Amino acid sequence: MSKLIDTTVEKYKLRFAEIKDIPLILEFIKKLAEYENLLDDVTATEETLMNSLFIRNVAEVIIGEYDGKPVSQAIFFYNFSTFDGKLGIYLEDIYVEPEFRGKDLGKILLKYIAKLALERDCERFEWACLDWNEPSIKFYKRLGAVPKDEWVIFRVSGDALTDLANDSDK
C-alpha cells in the first residue's frame, strides 16, 4: 500500500498510484475526456497503462482520496529544457470528481507536484489547458501560472506519424 500523504483538507489524502489502481486511472481519464468532449479520442487501455506507468515508468500518477474514496488524480512526467539544461515536470492530466470541485483539492494536487518539482531539482512545472475552459484558466492564473500564448502546440499522430517516420512526402 502506498504511503498516504496528509493535506490541509481534513479527510483528503494523497498517494502514489499502484498497479491495482489501473482501472481507476482509466476511469478518471475517461471522465476527464468526457468533460473535455474528447471521449472518442481515448484509446488507452488497462494494458497500455500498465505498460506505460508500471513497466516502462514513463509517467507517475497521484491519487487523491477523500475519506478513503478516490476522488481525484494527477498524471505527470518529466520533460527537459535545453535552455535551462534541467528537467521539468509536465502535468498531462488533472481530474477532480465534480462534487469535490471548489474545495481546493485540485490546488492541493498542484501544490504537491510543485513541491515534488523542487525536491527533484526541476526548473519548471507546466501543463496545457483547453482554450475554452475558462474556469480552469482563471484558477491556474490565480495560482500564478502564466499562459504561454506565443507558443503553438504541434502534434503528429496516427497516419501522419507513420508517414513522417517512413519519410513519406505529402
Q: Which positions are catalytic?
A: 140
Q: Say which DSSP state 50 is in.
A: I
Q: What cell numbers appear for 162 in the block?
A: 507513420
φ and ψ of 43, to 5 deg: -115, 0
Name the nearest CA neighbour of 90 among 106, 70, 76, 75: 76
CA 114 to mean position of chain CA atoms: 13
Q: What is the CA radius of gyration of the chain?
A: 17
| 42, 48, 50, 56 alpha-carbon torsion, rounded to 10° | -120
* Secondary element (H or E) of residue 66: strand 60-66
Which residue type sits at 68?
A: G
Cell numbers 498517494 label which residue? 15
